[in-house]
Structure 1
Amino acid sequence: YVDGVYQARPAATSTDFLDIEQIEILRGPQGTLFGKNTTAGAFNITTTKPSQVPIAKAELSFGNYNFIQAKTSIFGGLAKNLAAKLAISGTQRDGTIYNTREERKYSGQNNIGIKSQYYYTPSDKLQILLSGDVSIQHPAGYPLVIAGVTTTERSAYRQYAKIVADLGYKQPTVDPFSRTINTNTPWKQNQSIGGASLNVDYKIGSGTLTSTTAWRFWNWDPTNDRDFSELSALTKSQGNSRHDQYSQEVRYAGQITEKLSGVVGVFVLGQNLKGLNQTEEVGKDQWRFVQTAATGAQGLYSTPGLLDGFGIKTNSTIKSLSAAVFAQVDWEFLNHLHILPGLRYTYDKKDVDYDRATYGGLQTSDAALLALKAAVYANQQFTTSTDNNNLSGNITLSYRPTDKINAYGTFSTAYKPVGVNVGGLPTTSNGQADLSLAVVKPEYVEHYELGLKTKPVKGLIVNLTGFNTDIKDYQTNV
C-alpha cells in the first residue's frame, strides 16, 4: 500500500519511491482493518504530505558503474488551506553484464519518476489529499547468466552436451562470476507504472470517516532470449502486458465507548489485465532440443526450415472483481485486558478470455510434419469464469499493564482468492483446452502468534515474537 492505495502488481516494488515518511511492515493475515485481504502480510508506505511551509529538499547519490541518483521535493502553500508537493527522482547506472556477441552491457538502470500531491484542509474536520504519480523505466534488460551445465534425468540423446554437439556449437566456458553472456536476441525490460488517488478524511462524532478512491496502471514491454545462448533455439520471448486497476474503500474508525473502539468498512477492487500479442518464437536450432530420437517420426524434426521462425502470439484478458466488508473492535473487558475480534467477508470473481495463434515455420501440408509442429506450439482458444467467497477473521487477547508493555496472543485466518491459468492448457482427447485445469484453487491460511512488545527506556523498543503459519493449497508461479 502507498498512501492507503493497494498496489496490485508486484512491479510496484521496483520503482524509486518518492519522499517516504514511514514504512510499516505488518506480518500475518490482514483484512479486518483496511484494504484487500492478504495471507502473509503487508507493507504500508506513507509519503510526506504537502505543507504550507515552503520546503525544498534534495538528495544526490553516487556509486560504482557510474551510478547516479537524484531526488528532489518541493513543498509550499498555493492558497489558504491548500498546499502542494512535487517530488522528482531520476536514476542512471551502467550495465553490469557484458554481452560478448553484441559487444554491449546489460542490466543497467534508467529510471525517472514524478509525484504530485495537493492537500486541502478547509476545516479542522475535513482533509482532502489528491495524488498523482508516474514512473518510467527503460533499463538495458536483465539477462540471466548461465551458472553451469548439469546432467538431467533424460536419455543421453537429450542431454545438453549432446544436443549442442550435434548442432556444431561449442559452449563457452561457464563462469557465473564473469558477468558475461553471449546471446543473439537483444534484452529489454521497459515498463511504466502510475496512477491517481483521492483520500478524504472527515471527522464524525468520536471517529473518522475515510474514503480512498484510486486508479493505477502498469505497462510492461519485455524482450528476452530464452535459450540464453548464440543458438537460434528459443529466440524470442515477449510478455507484453497492460494492467488497469480501480479501487474504492470506505471505512469508519472511532471510539464507541470509553472501553470500546472499532472500525468497519467496505473495499472494492476491479482489475483488467491484458496480454497483448505475447510472443514466443523458436529458430532453426530448436528442432534438436525437442527431438527425442534420431529415427522414426522424430527424425523428421531435422527437416530444413521446419521450426525456423515458428512461434505463437497470445492475446489474453483477465477481468477480476474483489468486494469485501470488514470490521474489528477493541474491547477492554477487564482492567488492562483487551480482546480484539475481527471479521471479513470477501467475494471474488474472475473472467478469462484466452486466444493463442501460431505463425511461421515451414509451410507444409504433410500431416507428419504438421504433427511435429503442433507438438511445439498449437492454436488454443478458451473462455472461462470462476468465483468464490470467504469468511475469515482474527481474534487477539492483549494485556497492556502500561503504555510501554503489550503482551498478546493472536489467531487469524485468511485466504488468497481463486486463480486462473493463462499460460496455456493441456488438451483433452478431442483436442480442446481442458478447462478443469484453468482454475487454481484458493489458498487458505491459519496463523498463530504470541508476542511481547516493550519500550523499556526512551528511544528503545524491545519486542519478542513467536509465530506459526499453516498454508493449505499454496499458490505460486512455476
Structure 2
Amino acid sequence: MLCATTPAFAFAQETAPADDAAATAADTIDYGNDIIVTASKRSQTLQDTPIAVSVTSAADLQNAQIRDLIDLQSAVPSLRVSQLQSSANTNFIIRGFGNGANNPGIEPSVGVFIDGVYRSRSAAQIGDLPNVERIEVLRGPQSTLFGKNASAGVISIVTQKPQYVFGGSVEASYGNYDAIVLKGNITGPISDTIAFSLGANFNRRDGYAKDVNLDTDVNDRNRWGVRGQLLIEPSDALSIRLIGDYDKIDENCCIAGNVLAGPTVPITNFLAGGTSVDANNPFSYRVYNNFLSSNLIKNYGGSGQIDYDLGNMALTSISAYREVRADTNQDSDFTSADLIGRKSDDTAINTFTQELRLTSDFDGPINFLVGGYYFNEKIKQHSQINFGDDFRPYGNALIQAASGGALNVPTLEAALGAPSGSFFRAGDGMDEHYRMKNTAWSIFGTLDFEISDRLTLTLGGNYTKDKKRFSADVDSNDVFSGIDLDAAAYAPFRNQLLLGGALQQAGVNPNDPAAVLAFATNPATAPFFQQFVTFANDNQNNPAANPLNGLKAFQFLPPFLDVPNSVEPGKTNDGDFSYSARLAYKMTDTVNVYATYATGFKASSVNLSRDSRPLAADLPAIIAGGLGTPNLVSGTRFAAPEESTVYEAGLKGQWSVAALNLAVFKQSIKGFQSNVFTGTGFALANAGKQSTWGVEFDGSVRPVRGLNLTLAVTYLDPKYDSFVASAFGDLSGRKPAGIPDLSVSMGGTYTHEFAGGTKAIMHVDYQYESPTQIVDGLLGLPDTVAQNLKREVNQLNASFTVALTNGFELGVWGRNLTNAQYLTTVFNAVAQSGSVSGYPSQPRTYGVTGRFKF
C-alpha cells in the first residue's frame, strides 16, 4: 500500500537541488542525512538523535495539504488532535496522554513550541502554519530539555530563517465550500549582515454545516496572519533573530450534532415550535440553534533569539512576549429552543518567557548542555451564562416531569416564598471573573559521556519551581439555585408533600379535601392516616427523605464561594526534579540503538470555571467559619501535579534505499489531570495512575527512483491503573477511552521528471485508527451507552502537482476523499438529561492550488 507523508523520514530530494548534478548526487546519499533536528536542543541528524521523534518537512506539509496542527495527525499516528467546542479549544494527545482544553487554568500535557517559544494555550497554537521548515513531534516526557510542562510530549515547529538570497513564493488555493487560501512570503538581504523575511496568509471558507433554524452555513473558516523576521549576523560568531507575528480568527465554530435523543427533546421541540435538533443524526451536518456561535481570537507577540559562538561552546538566549485575546459565545444547548441565552468566555493571556542555555562542542568524551528557563503568565477571564426566554417553561416542564405532575414553577415559587416569575428568569445566570498569575523557573541540563567511539551515556535533569496565585469572583442571581431545599423553613411544605405522597400511594387524591377527610375519619383507614402523619412529621427535616431531592438536579447555577477566602488561600506551590538516563549505541554506520529511562512533570492546574469548588478537606472548616453558601458541595479548586515516567528502547536504521525507526515503551502518568464534561459543567480531578505499553514503527523505502513509500504504525495498550474518584465512579483497571489500539499512516509520493526538468508529483496517504470507545462514561446513562459509542477513522488524502522549471506549480488535492464520518468526541447534552451530543468529523474537501516560487 502506498504510504503517507510519514514524518519519521524525509528524504534528501525533498530539498529540491537547483541543478541536475546536485539532484543526481542527492539520489545517492543515505536517506535522512540532511534532515537536521533540534529535538535534543542540539543540531543533529535524525539518525543520530536517540529520541522518539517524528519529523514532517515543508514538502510533506505541502503534498498532504496539512494547513494547521489539526491536520498534522494524519501524518503522525502517535499524535491525536481534537477540535472541541470553539476555535480556541483543541486537545493535543501523544501516546494517549493529553489535556488542556475547556479551561484557561489547565495547561496542556503536550507542550507546543514555535521557534523555541512555548505557546501555553491552544488558542495561541492552532492558527494556519507559518512558513515552516519542519515540525518535530517528540514522544514521551521531555521535561529535562524543555522548561515548561512537557509531561506527555512536545510539538516543536521550526520556521524558515531569512535568507541572504532574494526569493519567496506566492500561493493561491480554491476549494469546495468556496474555500480561498492565499499565502505569500518574501526574503532577501538588507545588507551583507542583515536579512529579512515577510509572510502573510489568508484562509476563508464557507461553513460545511447548515443551521436550518437560522438559515445560514456554520463551521466556517475566517483567519489571517502576518509574520516578519530579521536575521542580524554582525560577525561569524554572533547571530540575532527577531520575529514578530499577528494572527486573527473570526469564525463560527463548532457545531455539535445530536447523537442520542433523550426525553427532553419533545419539550425542546414544543418550545421551538417545531424541530429543535436533528435527532439521532449527527452526520447530517444540519443543526438548529437560536443564535450563531462566535469566535474572535487574536494571537500576537514577538521573540528574539541570540546565538553566540564561543569556539567550543555556544550560548543561546530566547526571549519572548505574547498575548492572546479569545472572545467566544455559543448557543451551548445546541437546540433551537432558547434555553441558554448566552455562554461567553472572554479570555486575556499575557505571557513572558526567557530561556538561556550553554552548549559545549568539545573534542573529548564529555559534552554538556546547561540552561535556565523563566515563565511569567497572567490570565484574566470574564465568563457569563444566562438563561434564554424558553428556559422558564423548560424548567417548569422538567419539574412537572420529576414530580409526576404534582409541582410546577408557580407552585414552588409560592411555597418557597420566592417572588412570582423569579425562577429560571430570562437573563438570570452567572457573571464570572477569574484571574491567575503563574511564575515558574527551571534549571535543566544534560551530560553526554562517550564511553567508547560507539557507546554514549546521556544523563539529564531539570528542577522546576512553579507558583500560581488565583482568584474567582462569581455572582449567581439564579433564584431557584440559591434556595436550600433542606432548610428548616420549608419543613411544613415538605411535610405536606410527604403526607400527600403517602396518601397517593394509598389511592387517595391528596388534592381532594373530601377524599382525604373520608380516609382520615373512616375507622378502617384512620390508623393508616395517623401512620402517614407520623411518617411526615418524623421525616420533614430528614434530608434523605426530602421529597424535593429530585429537584436539586435543576439547581444548575448555585451560589459560588469566592476564592481566596479565610480558609482557601488561592495558591499552589510545586517543585520537582525530573531526570533521564539514556544509553545510545551505534551498532554499525547505519544502525543505532538506544535505551531510555525518563521522568516528566507538569505543575498543578487551576479550575478557573464556575465548577470550581472547595476541596473536601477544606469544606468542614469553611462551614465552621460561616463561609458556606447555599447548596455548597466539595469539588476541586485545582488538580495536583502530573508526574510521568517512561521506559523506552529504540532502534534506528538508515540505508541507501530504506530507513526505519522502532520504539518499544512503557509510559505512565501519576495524577493525570482529567477534565470531564458532566452536562452542566466540568469535573477536574486527578487520576491515580494511567499507563500505556506501546510499540511505534515508522519506516520508508524507495524501490525505484522517484518513488518514496512510507509506513508508520503505533500500537497502544493503555489502562487506568488507579482512578477511583472519576466523574463516572471507579475506573481502576479499565481501558481509557479515546485511545485506539492501532493507528496507521501510510502513503507514497512519486516524482516523475520529464525531459527539460518539468516534474509531476503524485501523492497519496491514508490514516487509520482502530475502533475505540469515545468517552469513559456519560452521566445519568447506563455504562453500555458509552461503551457502544465508538470511533473508527479511515481517511484518504491525495494530491497531484505539476512543477515547471520556472518555479510555477499547479496542483489538485483532496482530503478525506472517502468522506469518512466519525465523532471526535461525545458528551452529555447541556441541561438535557438522557440526550448525548457530539462533534462530527470534517467532510470531504478538495481544491486546486497554484504556487510560484522565485
Q: Is this a same-fold pair by TM over 0.5? A: yes
Distance 1:374 1:57 in 2: 58
Distance 2:483 2:598 in 1: 60
Q: Which residue is 2:366 aligned to?
A: 260
Q: Which residue is 1:399 aligned to?
A: 585
For residues 215-241 of structure 1, the C-alpha deviation after alignment (integer angstroms, 9 at most, x for no partner) is 111111111011111212223210110
Matched, 1:176 2:282: yes
> What is the identity, as a one-letter code, of the residue corresponding to 2:264?
Y
For residues 10-58 of structure 1, the C-alpha deviation after alignment (integer angstroms, 9 at most, x for no partner) is 1233201111011111111112234424111111111111112111211
Kindly indicate whether the alpha-carbon contact (under 8 Å) linking 2:147 and 2:441 is maintained by their aligned counterparts in 1.
Answer: no
Task: Give the one of 643, 648, 654 matched to 1:444.
Answer: 643
3-state SS, counterpart of residue 117 of structure 2: coil
Q: 1:208 to 1:359 in 2, by over 3 A?
A: same
Q: Which residue is 2:391 aligned to?
A: 286
Task: Give the one of 412, 415, 418 matched to 2:598.
Answer: 412
**Which piece of structure 1 moves more, 289-298 or 264-273?**
289-298
Distance 1:379 1:393 in 2: 41
Task: Give the one of 232, 237, 242 matched to 2:348.
Answer: 242
Distance 1:437 1:143 in 2: 29
Deviation at 1:309, TM superposition (A): 1.6
Distance 2:157 2:120 in 1: 14
Q: 1:168 to 1:65 in 2, by over 3 A?
A: closer
Distance 2:152 2:483 in 1: 53
Kindly indicate whether the alpha-carbon contact (under 8 Å) linking 1:451 and 1:463 is maintained by their aligned counterparts in 2.
Answer: yes
Task: Give the one of 199, 205, 209 matched to 1:87.
Answer: 199
- Work out the number of aligned pairs and report it: 466
Q: Which residue is 1:351 aligned to?
A: 469
Q: Which residue is 1:204 aligned to?
A: 310
C-alpha RMSD of the superposition:
2.7
Deviation at 1:203, TM superposition (A): 0.8
Considering Cα pairs closer than 8 Å and 6+ residues apart, tell me whether 1 or 2 has the greater RCO. 2
Deviation at 1:4, TM superposition (A): 0.8
Distance 1:52 1:165 in 2: 65
Kindly indicate whether the alpha-carbon contact (under 8 Å) linking 1:309 and 1:361 is maintained by their aligned counterparts in 2.
Answer: no
> What is the identity, as a one-letter code, of the residue corresponding to 1:95?
G
> What is the identity, as a one-letter code, of the residue corresponding to 1:248?
Q
State the identity as a percent.
Answer: 28
Distance 2:447 2:589 in 1: 19
> What is the identity, as a one-letter code, of the residue corresponding to 1:280?
I
Deviation at 1:189, TM superposition (A): 1.2
Describe how 1:70-219 pairs up with structure 2 within 5 A. 70-150=182-262, 159-161=263-265, 163-164=267-268, 170-171=274-275, 172-174=277-279, 175-219=281-325
3-state SS, counterpart of residue 163 of structure 2: coil
Task: Give the one of 153, 163, 166 matched to 1:54.
Answer: 166
For residues 397-442 of structure 1, the C-alpha deviation after alignment (integer angstroms, 9 at most, x for no partner) is 1111344221011110111101111223346445257788312111
Q: Which residue is 1:376 aligned to?
A: 557
Q: 1:215 to 1:403 in 2, by over 3 A?
A: farther
Kindly indicate whether the alpha-carbon contact (under 8 Å) linking 2:228 and 2:245 is maintained by their aligned counterparts in 1.
Answer: yes
Kindly indicate whether the alpha-carbon contact (under 8 Å) linking 2:240 and 2:304 is maintained by their aligned counterparts in 1.
Answer: yes
Distance 1:228 1:202 in 2: 55
3-state SS, counterpart of residue 275 of structure 1: strand
Deviation at 1:477, TM superposition (A): 2.2
Which structure has the greater CA radius of gyration? 2
For residues 48-89 of structure 1, the C-alpha deviation after alignment (integer angstroms, 9 at most, x for no partner) is 111121112112222110111111001011123011100000
Matched, 1:9 2:9: no
> What is the identity, as a one-letter code, of the residue corresponding to 1:331?
F
Distance 1:118 1:162 in 2: 61
Distance 2:483 2:674 in 1: 40
Matched, 1:315 2:433: yes
> What is the identity, as a one-letter code, of the residue corresponding to 2:353?
S
Q: 1:227 to 1:50 in 2, by over 3 A?
A: same
Q: 1:382 to 1:413 in 2, by over 3 A?
A: same
Kindly indicate whether the alpha-carbon contact (under 8 Å) linking 1:357 and 1:380 is maintained by their aligned counterparts in 2.
Answer: no
Q: Which residue is 1:333 aligned to?
A: 451
Kindly indicate whether the alpha-carbon contact (under 8 Å) linking 2:230 and 2:242 is maintained by their aligned counterparts in 1.
Answer: yes
Q: 1:42 to 1:310 in 2, by over 3 A?
A: same
Distance 1:179 1:451 in 2: 44
3-state SS, counterpart of residue 381 of structure 1: coil
Kindly indicate whether the alpha-carbon contact (under 8 Å) linking 1:314 and 1:354 is maintained by their aligned counterparts in 2.
Answer: yes
Kindly indicate whether the alpha-carbon contact (under 8 Å) linking 2:413 and 2:422 is maintained by their aligned counterparts in 1.
Answer: no
Distance 2:337 2:458 in 1: 61
Distance 2:338 2:558 in 1: 16
> What is the identity, as a one-letter code, of the residue corresponding to 1:261?
N
Q: Which residue is 2:45 aligned to?
A: none
Distance 2:217 2:592 in 1: 53
Q: Which residue is 2:728 aligned to?
A: none
Structure 1 stretches lacking a partner, 5+ long = 151-158
Deviation at 1:319, TM superposition (A): 0.7
Q: 1:161 to 1:70 in 2, by over 3 A?
A: closer
Distance 2:437 2:457 in 1: 39
Q: Which residue is 1:156 aligned to?
A: none
More helix by share: 2
Deviation at 1:126, TM superposition (A): 0.3
3-state SS, counterpart of residue 141 of structure 1: coil
Matched, 1:224 2:341: no
Distance 1:49 1:168 in 2: 56
Distance 1:436 1:388 in 2: 20
Q: Which residue is 1:155 aligned to?
A: none
**Which piece of structure 1 moves more, 51-60 or 292-301?**
292-301
Q: 1:137 to 1:390 in 2, by over 3 A?
A: same
Distance 1:120 1:168 in 2: 63
Deviation at 1:275, TM superposition (A): 0.4
- Give the TM-score normalised by structure 2: 0.52
3-state SS, counterpart of residue 674 of structure 2: coil
> What is the identity, as a one-letter code, of the residue corresponding to 1:121?
E
Kindly indicate whether the alpha-carbon contact (under 8 Å) linking 1:54 and 1:76 is maintained by their aligned counterparts in 2.
Answer: yes
Q: Which residue is 2:574 aligned to?
A: 388
3-state SS, counterpart of residue 11 of structure 1: helix
Distance 2:306 2:640 in 1: 36
Deviation at 1:377, TM superposition (A): 3.6
Distance 1:49 1:161 in 2: 55
For residues 145-194 of structure 1, the C-alpha deviation after alignment (integer angstroms, 9 at most, x for no partner) is 223314xxxxxxxx424644785865454222221111112210111112
Deviation at 1:443, TM superposition (A): 0.9
Deviation at 1:144, TM superposition (A): 1.6
